[in-house]
Chain A
Amino acid sequence: MHEVNVDLLIVGAGPAGLAAAIAAAEAGTGEIVLIDRLAELGGILQQCIHNGFGLRFFKEELTGPEYAQRFMDKLADFPQITIKTETMVVDIARDQRTNRVTTVNARDGLVIYNASAVILAMGCRERPRGAINTPGTRPAGIYTAGSAQRLMNVEGFLPGRRAVILGSGDIGLIMARRLTLEGIKVEAVIELMPYSSGLTRNIVQCLDDFGIPLYLGHTVTEIIGRDRVEGVVVAPVDSNRVPDLKRAFRVDCDTLVLSVGLIPENELSLQAGIELDQATGGPTVDSDYQTNVPGIFACGNVVHVHDLVDDVTEESIVAGRSAAAFVRNLRAQRTQHAQCAQSEQRVQREQCEQRGGGDSGDSGGSDVSSIQPAKDAFITIKAGRNVRSVVPQRLRRDRPSVLYIRVANPEQDVVIGAGGLRRKLRHVTPGETVRLTMAPEYFPEESQLTVTVEKSEA
């Protein structure tokens, strides 16, 4: 079995991994390995053929593949980035000095990378039918929206001819349009909540444009069809989201597309001993996008589900730069330590180590915790009223930070409070992340900060 030492290993070459890799390379990191399980870079963007990406980052409205191509083109500038496609990361184990990352692919077989730093950028998986426990049969023709999207946009197949879509988040809405444009009859989009979590623009351009009915406050209560979907039963739900079967009705279709939630894909993170935030489903991170394990960073949808890829890019650049700094510091410490170890006199050696050459007693080892800031250098973020989650969950006091806040319920005319910062907003909704830049002058004295959403007085 092959072992390779690298400075930085990045798991996932979607928008997060791509931006992080480039940022790390630009910041001077030496050997970077960028890994993806697909044959192509770009991750989910390759199947998101619709436009709407990059308005903030590039000041242009790009399609998913166009956005990805911008970053893929930039990779050519950085020969120190080694790309491994069709490669699966099987395990990440942390030992004192390094991260042992086990990978497997057809060309190299099983390879273990010893990486000084790791960036997790694995993205999300979709919630399947089994997890929402829709009663009924198990016929062919049930697809999660992302699966259907891939089948159509990359592989070039029609998933069916007559569809019902469950879930009116952006992915469900986008697929409503996509299916319609390809001649598939979209009978209805069904949404459990009394509001859609998708962007208004998508309601207009994906549903209204084509006269596709949207049933808010409804759900699919049964799937019918022995071998292939033949129809679904739809019913309105009450305020507790319990279906009222007396008002149920059947919709004939041969395809059910499920857009019922994204789950950050953190199996590897758990294997690596990384702490997850229940509210986001992803690792807790600090303003550097470092997880609770020094040297392991995370960015993109694996940390929290994003609405805008521009936000993914922004935070991944931070992660990339932070990982680069980490690697730099680690190298410096190791060099220092190696130099100290060479001192012939014990007194000189001890003095050298005291100056920051790493832990004594561990020959050649580097204690990464010694290059981490002290605990009181951080503020822990708590989610207050009407806040479902905030990322990052820990802020470094010595630098500004962008907070990504997801509210729990839609509200009008609110004030977001974070430390000394107040921001008035006309309208907040769970489907649209609030992005708040916080400068250190707004940080509280205390080590904890609660982010709240309150009704505006005025």
Chain B
Amino acid sequence: MAHKETDVLIIGGGVTGTAIARELSKYAVSVMLIEKEVDLAFGTSKANSGIVHSGVHDRPGTLKARLCVEGNRLYPQMAQELDFLYKNNGAVVVARQEDEIPALKRLVDQGRQNGVTGVRLIGHDDLLTLEPHLSPELAGAIEIPSGGIVIPFDLVYALAENAVANGAEIMLGTAVTAITEEDGAFTVQATKVATVATQAAQTASAAYASQAVQKTVTVRSKYIINAAGLHAGKVAGMIGDDSISIRPRKGEEYLLDRRLAGFVKRTIFPLPTPVSKGILIIPTVEGNIMLGPTAHSTDSFDDFSTTATGWREVFDYVRQLAPELKASDLITSFAGLRAASNHDDFIIGPSAVSPRFIHAAGMESPGLTAAPAAARLICDHLKEAGLRLLPKSNFIPVRKVVRIRDLSAAEQAQLMQQDAAYSKIVCRCEYVSEGEIRDAIRRGATTLDGVKLRTRSGMGRCQGGFCTPKIIGILSRELGVPPEQITKRGPGSPLLAGRLRSAGSGGGAHGAHGVSDASGMHGEYDAAAAEEDGADA
């Protein structure tokens, strides 16, 4: 049983939790973040639409409105500091017919009240000049220059890595089971699920190799931040706070081929509905076009399925906005669950049950946009609850990551000379090198999806057809476990069912010279050997 102590324990490793971790890591306090999935962002954040909203959609006077506008303004500098993918691409909200124009005007007013700048009403002709692929049937629009786009999981990893670089501790694969309070501090019980199955976890041949191994962890913390997303209600309930109830709202998203980069420049919104901002056309930072999301309440906390009706709903709708869109450009789709709560605003503040248990819950849209501002507000609440926050003099604000696809040929050549791993291209569709994959693993990825979300490998046209065996091999080598124990996203999702032959060896570098193993799946990759035999026959 592991026993840990910290000043602040953040429960939940999505965009809210990691933004708070990063903010707190600016101060001389000990910070720990605990996440039940085997990697950060594996909950709602990875399915987020990735829009940095302006604030026109939010009701004035709410935390949503205030934190959205404040958060929006923080993104450009944060993106520079933390090197995550972000673009201030702007947005338009379109009116499909004349009778929708008054609603547009109301959005302009609302935005103005919230402090959103630059929003203007534009006519049909201007709209089509700005976005020529939109339907000529559209009546008009409002243009919102402060709208932006981000890759949501990329943001989460950037925040988390910077937090860790500044002393925060992150525990993955650890689920909180009970919380008690005594002597001015909380005792949190959690169960750790092995992120990579150990040798000892291998069970009978009928079952898959990567069985979970469980271990109990106890953390003693003075303050707790409830950033548990879908499970914030359950976590609040652990201290007897029944004020939060989460009813998930599912959203399906559909991703189109990158050949459509530039099809729209701005994020295209229709008029909002009572429950959502509508089905959108979203240009991603990497050049894909994303369509969606739907918005349907569900009682299930783990239904991440896409549906035929969801697709029809999305596709039929977006074709009204942009008739040229073709189903044949679809490359993948996914679904996520929003943590919609029984409150009509963010739930940010101390629990009525205990002042040192602070909620950062119900963070549905514009939760991602608001996250950096919400993090500051949480720090204010912590101060009010008695935590002294003294700024660290040695805070490192900057975090950098290698993305060879964004480098010039000369920069790539130089990097490749320094480290040959960057010249082994693993994901051909997205141009991702072995070096970047190795780095991602060293930065915390232990699963195929963890590598994918950090590096983009597997997100292209072939959807991992070529690179998956190679990535399994690199994970196997870096983590020191056999390939059959590598999972897609944690225990329960093993990729392989075992070896074909029980005779024959793995390992044994002495036999491995000559042609190097086809994809290095078996951990025999040896940089020296590769140099020797990698080129001429």
Measured CB to CB, the residues of A under 8 A from B are 1, 37-41, 46, 75, 82-88, 90, 102, 104-110, 125-126, 128-131, 133, 135-141, 144, 146-147, 150-152, 154-161, 182, 221-222, 226-228, 254-255, 267
Taking a contact as CB atoms under 8 Å apart, the answer to whether A110 and B469 are in contact is: no
**Which of B82-90, B168-176, B305-313, B351-359 lies at the interface with chain A?**
B305-313
A267 CA to B430 CA in the complex, in Å? 11
Known: A130-B331, A140-B487, A158-B500. A38 touches B423 (CB 8 A): no
- How many A-B residue contacts, CB cutoff 8 Å? 182
A106-B424, A144-B465 given; 12 more Cβ-contact pairs under 8 Å: A88-B428, A109-B417, A110-B412, A110-B413, A128-B463, A128-B465, A133-B254, A133-B306, A140-B448, A150-B469, A156-B499, A157-B484
**Which of B239-247, B379-387, B436-444, B513-521 lies at the interface with chain A?**
B513-521
A161 CA to B499 CA in the complex, in Å? 11
Measured CB to CB, the residues of B under 8 A from A are 208, 254-255, 302, 304-308, 310-311, 327, 330-334, 409-410, 412-413, 416-417, 420-421, 423-425, 428-429, 431, 448, 461-466, 468-469, 483-484, 487-501, 504, 515-519, 521-522, 527, 530-531, 534-537
The chain A residue sitting closest to B417, CB to CB, is A109
In whole Å, how far is A88's beta carbon from the nearest beta carbon of chain B?
Answer: 4
A159's partner among B465, B490, B497 (CB-CB below 8 A) is: B497
A contacts with B: majority SS: mixed
In whole Å, how far is A193's beta carbon from the nearest beta carbon of chain B?
Answer: 18
In whole Å, how far is A282's beta carbon from the nearest beta carbon of chain B?
Answer: 15
Set of chain B residues within 8 Å of A254, measured between Cβ atoms: 497
A25 CA to B451 CA in the complex, in Å? 42
Known: A128-B465, A137-B305. A151 touches B496 (CB 8 A): yes
A106 CA to B434 CA in the complex, in Å? 10
Set of chain A residues within 8 Å of B488, measured between Cβ atoms: 139-140, 227-228
In whole Å, how far is A30's beta carbon from the nearest beta carbon of chain B?
Answer: 17
Taking a contact as CB atoms under 8 Å apart, the answer to whether B420 and A106 are in contact is: yes
A267 CA to B258 CA in the complex, in Å? 11
The chain B residue sitting closest to A85, CB to CB, is B534
Set of chain A residues within 8 Å of B516, measured between Cβ atoms: 39, 86
Taking a contact as CB atoms under 8 Å apart, the answer to whether B537 and A75 are in contact is: yes
Set of chain B residues within 8 Å of A155, measured between Cβ atoms: 469, 483, 518-519, 521-522
Taking a contact as CB atoms under 8 Å apart, the answer to whether B431 and A107 are in contact is: no
Taking a contact as CB atoms under 8 Å apart, the answer to whether A104 and B500 are in contact is: no
In whole Å, how far is B230's beta carbon from the nearest beta carbon of chain A?
Answer: 14
A227 CA to B516 CA in the complex, in Å? 33
Set of chain B residues within 8 Å of A133, measured between Cβ atoms: 254, 306, 311, 327, 330, 333
B536's partner among A82, A146, A161 (CB-CB below 8 A) is: A82
The chain B residue sitting closest to A222, CB to CB, is B305
The chain B residue sitting closest to A132, CB to CB, is B330
Known: A155-B522, A221-B308, A226-B302. A147 touches B468 (CB 8 A): yes
A138 CA to B335 CA in the complex, in Å? 9
A84 CA to B423 CA in the complex, in Å? 14
Set of chain B residues within 8 Å of A106, measured between Cβ atoms: 420-421, 423-424, 527, 530-531, 534
The chain A residue sitting closest to B500, CB to CB, is A156
16 contacts between A and B (CB under 8 A): A109-B413, A109-B423, A126-B462, A126-B465, A128-B463, A130-B330, A130-B333, A131-B330, A133-B254, A154-B518, A155-B519, A157-B500, A158-B499, A159-B497, A221-B308, A228-B208
Known: A106-B530, A110-B412. A40 touches B518 (CB 8 A): yes
The chain B residue sitting closest to A182, CB to CB, is B500
A61 CA to B498 CA in the complex, in Å? 32
A130 CA to B412 CA in the complex, in Å? 31
Taking a contact as CB atoms under 8 Å apart, the answer to whether B534 and A107 are in contact is: yes
In whole Å, how far is A164's beta carbon from the nearest beta carbon of chain B?
Answer: 15
Taking a contact as CB atoms under 8 Å apart, the answer to whether B483 and A128 are in contact is: no
Known: A130-B332, A158-B496. A83 touches B302 (CB 8 A): no
A266 CA to B521 CA in the complex, in Å? 27
Taking a contact as CB atoms under 8 Å apart, the answer to whether B425 and A88 are in contact is: yes
Set of chain A residues within 8 Å of B429, measured between Cβ atoms: 267
Taking a contact as CB atoms under 8 Å apart, the answer to whether B536 and A139 are in contact is: no
Which of B334, B516, B537 counts the most A-chain CB atoms under 10 A from its CB?
A: B537
In whole Å, how far is A194's beta carbon from the nearest beta carbon of chain B?
Answer: 22
The chain B residue sitting closest to A150, CB to CB, is B469
Taking a contact as CB atoms under 8 Å apart, the answer to whether A135 and B412 are in contact is: no
B500's partner among A75, A90, A129, A152 (CB-CB below 8 A) is: A152
In whole Å, how far is B50's beta carbon from the nearest beta carbon of chain A?
Answer: 18
In whole Å, how far is B308's beta carbon from the nearest beta carbon of chain A?
Answer: 5
A141 CA to B412 CA in the complex, in Å? 35
Taking a contact as CB atoms under 8 Å apart, the answer to whether A110 and B518 are in contact is: no
Taking a contact as CB atoms under 8 Å apart, the answer to whether B462 and A90 are in contact is: no
Taking a contact as CB atoms under 8 Å apart, the answer to whether A135 and B306 are in contact is: yes
Set of chain A residues within 8 Å of B428, measured between Cβ atoms: 37, 88
A129 CA to B458 CA in the complex, in Å? 13
A158's partner among B492, B498, B504 (CB-CB below 8 A) is: B498
The chain A residue sitting closest to B315, CB to CB, is A133
A157 CA to B423 CA in the complex, in Å? 27
A38 CA to B497 CA in the complex, in Å? 25
Set of chain A residues within 8 Å of B483, measured between Cβ atoms: 155, 157
Taking a contact as CB atoms under 8 Å apart, the answer to whether A157 and B334 are in contact is: no
Set of chain B residues within 8 Å of A267, measured between Cβ atoms: 429, 461
Known: A1-B413, A156-B499. A129 touches B307 (CB 8 A): no
Set of chain A residues within 8 Å of B333, measured between Cβ atoms: 130, 133
The chain B residue sitting closest to A111, CB to CB, is B413
The chain A residue sitting closest to B492, CB to CB, is A227
A64 CA to B20 CA in the complex, in Å? 56
Taking a contact as CB atoms under 8 Å apart, the answer to whether B465 and A146 are in contact is: yes
Taking a contact as CB atoms under 8 Å apart, the answer to whether A157 and B425 are in contact is: no
Set of chain A residues within 8 Å of B425, measured between Cβ atoms: 37, 88, 90, 104
